[in-house]
Amino acid sequence: AQSVSQHNHHVILSEAASLELGCNYSYGGTVNLFWYVQYPGQHLQLLLKYFSGDPLVKGIKGFEAEFIKSKFSFNLRKPSVQWSDTAEYFCAVNEGGGADGLTFGKGTHLIIQP
Amino acid sequence: DVKVTQSSRYLVKRTGEKVFLECVQDMDHENMFWYRQDPGLGLRLIYFSYDVKMKEKGDIPEGYSVSREKKERFSLILESASTNQTSMYLCASMRTSGYYEQYFGPGTRLTVT
């Protein structure tokens, strides 16, 4: 079975700091990779996704992620965070070519201090 | 925009009650999913469905069942609710062709007392 590890459960940063959230997955085959975000009181929404092609993917709100196949990693980055980025972030994976459910990491609670 | 709706945002039930959580999507997606979300555990897949009347077990199906009688509707059933089923329940839908992006509903926070 697949597993997804998110290295940091709680991260506190100041505004304008750079962000990198780690994500590693266990599946060795072709995968689809996602980062979802859940703002306080809101439903889960997609930040970005990787299916194939350029391993550096850009998402909404200035986020990007890099797929490094050799490291089984899909880390999320943002060069300069804002207070409004305070949220819970989830990395997720499913097997490429499959329509099964996603396997999620346990989430990272990000707090941005003004 | 895809819209996934769930019948209740908050629900309080007693131990032993039968509980129905309803989910409806309006984009004619073939696939639908039920997850539960718990602090520190992330989201875990309970059941999913590829098509009407089809269902597949996810990672934590024990204590749950599902029903999909119409393409747009996917129900999660707790036959006899227990306190360890207190959780946030999220429904999602996804089309089969193209990119496998799941769209989530707002969630139902269920408390079993």
- The DSSP H or E segment spanning A58 is strand A56-58
Best of B100, B104, B108, B109 to disrupt the A interface (most A CBs within 10 Å) is B100
Q: Inter-chain contact A43–B40, Cβ cutoff 8 Å?
A: no
B101 neighbourhood in chain A, CB within 8 Å? 34, 46, 49
pLDDT over 90 for what percent of chain B? 85
Q: A33 and A91 in contact (C-beta within 8 Å)?
A: yes
Mean pLDDT of B20-29: 95
What would the pLDDT profile of A49-100 be if each residue is shown by its tens digit?
998 899 999 999 999 999 999 999 999 999 999 999 999 999 999 876 666 7
Q: Inter-chain contact B42–A34, Cβ cutoff 8 Å?
A: no
Q: B105 and B6 in contact (C-beta within 8 Å)?
A: yes
Quote the pLDDT of residue A104.
Answer: 93
Quote the pLDDT of residue B2.
Answer: 65
- The DSSP H or E segment spanning A43 is none
Beta strands A73-78; A64-68: pairing state = antiparallel
What would the pLDDT profile of A1-35 be if each residue is shown by its tens digit?
679 999 889 999 999 999 999 999 997 788 889 99
Mean pLDDT of B100-104: 86
What would the pLDDT profile of B33-82 be if each residue is shown by its tens digit?
999 999 989 999 999 999 999 999 999 999 999 999 999 999 999 999 99
Of B40, B70, B58, which is closest to residue A6 (Cα–Cα)? B40
Quote the pLDDT of residue A48.
Answer: 95
3-class state of residue A83 by DSSP: helix
Chain B: which residues have CB within 8 Å of chain A?
A: 30-31, 33, 35, 40-45, 48, 50, 56, 58-59, 90, 94, 96, 99-107
B105 neighbourhood in chain A, CB within 8 Å? 43
Quote the pLDDT of residue A96.
Answer: 66
Residue type, A63: F
Q: Inter-chain contact A101–B41, Cβ cutoff 8 Å?
A: no
Instruction: Quickly list DSSP for B16-76.
Output: T--EEEEEEESS--SEEEEEEEETTTEEEEEEEESSTT--EE-S--TT-EEEEEETTEEEE
Quote the pLDDT of residue A29.
Answer: 80
Q: Is A26 on the interface with B (CB under 8 A)?
A: no
Quote the pLDDT of residue A52.
Answer: 87
Quote the pLDDT of residue B101.
Answer: 83
Quote the pLDDT of residue A1.
Answer: 67
